[in-house]
Amino acid sequence: MLEEQRRNEMYIDELPLPNEVIEGLKKIGYKKLYPPQIEAIKKGLLEGKNLIVATPTASGKTFIAILLMIKKILHQRDGKIVYLVPLKALANEKYQEFKDIFGKIKLGKINIMISTGDYDSKGEELRKAHIIVATYEKMDSLIRHSPTWIKKVRTLVIDEAHLIGSVDRGYVIENIIMRYRSEGIPIQILMLSATISNIEHLSRWIEGEEVKNDWRPVPLREAVLYDHEIYHPDGNVEKIENITGDPIMDKVIHTLKEHGQILIFTQSRNEARRKAKKIANIMRRYLNEFFNEREINLLNLYSQKVLKIGEQTKLNEELSKLIKYGVAFHHAGLGLQHRILIENIYRDGLLKIITATPTLASGVNLPSRTVIITYTTRRFAGYEDTINVFEYKQMAGRAGRPKYDELGEAYLYTRNQWNIDYLITSYILGDIEPIVSKLLEDENLDKVLLSFISSTNG
C-alpha cells in the first residue's frame, strides 16, 4: 500500500528541471504535485506531446501550463509561447501571475506581453515576447494579420478549452488550432478545461493524450436550498437558522460566522445589483460582528478608490456604497479597472460577498467557501431557456478555497418545493453535455473562410 502511494506521489525535486529553477519554484510555494499534474507529466507534457487536461477548478491546471512553459524556455527559447483565454480580465490575471512567477525563477530575462484589444493592430510589437497572453478573438485577429513572428509559435495553451463547444466562441478556437496544424507548423498544444464528458473526441482531434481526473484539493458538497432547508442528493435534509427571513441571507450569515466568503450567481446584471443592495442593507447590522476596525477603515478606503479610478458612472457610485459593507456586484457592465479592483479585494479576504453574472464562472480565479446559484433559466438570444449542466457545474466548481476550507459548498436555490427533486436529478446528479463542433455551422464557416481569404491575401 505504501509503495503504491509513493508511486502516485511526486515532488518538485523529481522534475527534470535545473536545480536553480526547482529552488525558485519551491520558494514560491510549489513543493508537491497534485494528482492531475503528475498524470500530465506521465502522459508526455514535458516530452512534446499534445495534451488535453480536464479537471475541476483549483486542481492545478495553470501550474501544468507553467511547467510546460519553463521546459520550452529552457530548450526552445526562440519559439514563442501563446496562452489563450476567453476574457480580458482573465488575460490580465494570467499576465500578472506569469510575470510574478517567471520573475522569481532563474531563467534569464523572460519577456511576457499581453494582447487583448484593437483587432486592427498587426501585433508586430509582440515579436519581442517569449510568452504572449491573449484572448481567443485577439489571436484569431493576429493570425489574419500574419505578423512576422506568428509562425514562430511553438507552444499553444488554450485555457477554458471547453468553450470550443460554445455557439459564439467555439469556432474561433477551432480555427486557431486548424490554421497551425494545416500549415504543418511543429506546435505543441495544451488544452486546459473543466470536466468534459467526451474528452476522448478532442484528444483524437489534436492527436494527443488526455488527462481526465475528478480530484479536487477541497471536497465539494452540492445541495438544493429551499426555504430554510438544505436538501442533499442522499435524501438528508438539513435546517439552517432563520435569522432574517431570507434563506439566502441566512446562509450567507452562517458562512460568515465560519470565516468564509460567498459567491452568489444571478440571472442578469440588474439582478446582481439588486441582490447586492439587499445583502448590503442587512450587512449594515452585522458590520462590527464580521469586520474589525482596521478592516472597516480599509473598506472605506476602497469605497473611495472606486470613485477615483476608471470612467465614473452611476454603477460605480452604487458599487462604492456597497463596498463599505463588504459586498460588491461583478459583471461586464463594470469597467475593467473596477472589476480587477473587486477581484483583488475579494482575494485579499476583505470583500466577503460578491453577486455576479455567469461570466465570473468563466475562469476568473475567485474560489469561495460557499457558492449560491439563484437561477436555472436565463435569456439566450432573446428567448428564455434552461441552463445546461455544464454551466451549473462551472459555477458550483468555484466552491472551496484551497488552504482555507476543508469543504466547499454549492447550493441551487429554489422558491418552489416541487423543483427540489428535479434540480437534484437534472443538475447535481446530471451528466455534463458532450462538446460538439461549431465550425461547420453555416454562419461560422463563412467567417472562417473570410478570415482565411483575408490572411492569404495579406
Range with lowest mean pLDDT among 172-186, 216-230, 342-356, 358-372? 358-372
Rounded distance, CA 43 to CA 199, Å? 15
Q: How confident is the model at residue 440, as a pLDDT? A: 53
Is the pLDDT assigned to residue 86 strictly greater than 80? yes
Mean pLDDT of 301-316: 90
The pLDDT of residue 449 is 46
Q: Bridge-partner residues for 190, per DSSP?
A: 51, 157
Classified as helix, coil or strand, 79 is coil
Q: What pLDDT is stored for residue 182 in this prediction?
A: 81
Specify which of 64-78, 165-179, 368-382 reaches the highest per-range mean pLDDT: 64-78
Residue 226 has pLDDT above 60, yes or no: yes
Q: Dump pLDDT digits (tens) for 8-39.
A: 789 999 999 999 999 999 999 999 999 999 99
H/E run at residue 41: helix 35-42
Q: Which of 37-46, 243-252, 374-383 has the lowest mean pLDDT?
A: 374-383
Give the per-residue pLDDT at 438. Answer: 59
C-alpha torsion angle, residues 57, 48, 210, 194 (rounded to 10): 20
In 3D space, the residue among 271, 245, 270, 295 whose CA is nearest the CA of residue 372 turns out to be: 271
Whether residue 442 has pLDDT greater than 80: no
Whole-angstrom distance, CA of residue 382 vs CA of residue 385? 10
Buried b (16+ CB within 10 A) or exposed e, 91-103: bbbbbeebbebbe
Cell reading at 191? 488544452
With 0.85 as the threshold, say if the pTM is over it: yes
Is 6's pLDDT higher than 70?
Answer: no
The predicted structure's pLDDT at residue 453:
45
Q: Which residue carries 484551497 as its cell?
A: 402
pLDDT tens per residue, range 234-244: 999 999 999 99
- Residue 112: beta bridge partners? 131
CA distance 54 to 202: 11
Least confident piece of the model among 144-153, 308-317, 373-382: 373-382
Average pLDDT over residues 185-209: 90
Could you report the per-residue pLDDT of 100-121, keeping only the tens digit for each? 999 999 888 899 999 987 666 6
In the prediction, which pLDDT does 437 show?
A: 73
Burial of 137 (0-12, 13-18, 19+ CB in 10 A): middle
Q: Work out the pLDDT band at 401, boundaries 50, 70, 90.
A: confident
Give 379's pLDDT tier (boundaries 50, 70, 90).
Answer: confident
Q: Identify the band that residue 89 occupies on the pLDDT scale cut at 50, 70 and 90.
A: confident
pLDDT at 445: 44
Q: Give me the mean pLDDT over the 346-355 stretch.
A: 94
275 close to 318: Cβ distance less than 8 angstroms: no
Cα–Cα dist 369/252, whole Å: 10
What pLDDT does residue 134 have?
A: 96
Number of other residues whose CB lies within 10 A of the CB of residue 387: 19
457: pLDDT strictly greater than 70: no
Give every CB contact of residue 320 below 8 A, 6+ residues apart in sequence: 303, 304, 306, 307
**pLDDT confidence of residue 4:** 47
Confirm if 432 and 393 have CB atoms less than 8 A apart.
Answer: yes
* More confident call, 444 vs 290: 290
CB 361 within 8 A of CB 313: no
Rounded mean pLDDT of 315-327? Answer: 95
Query: Across all residues in the chain, what is the average pLDDT?
Result: 89
Q: What is the C-alpha separation between 444 and 437, in angstroms, rounded?
A: 11
Using the predicted structure, report yes or no on whether residue 222 has a pLDDT greater than 80. Answer: yes
pLDDT at 7: 61
Domains of the chain, each with CATH number or no CATH:
2-212 (3.40.50.300), 220-428 (3.40.50.300)
DSSP string, 110-146: --EEEE-S-TT---GGGGG-SEEEEEHHHHHHHHHH-
Residue 383's DSSP bridge partners are: 380
Q: Residue 343: pLDDT above 60? A: yes
The SS3 assignment for 381 reads: coil
- Please give the pLDDT value at position 24: 92
- The pLDDT of residue 318 is 94
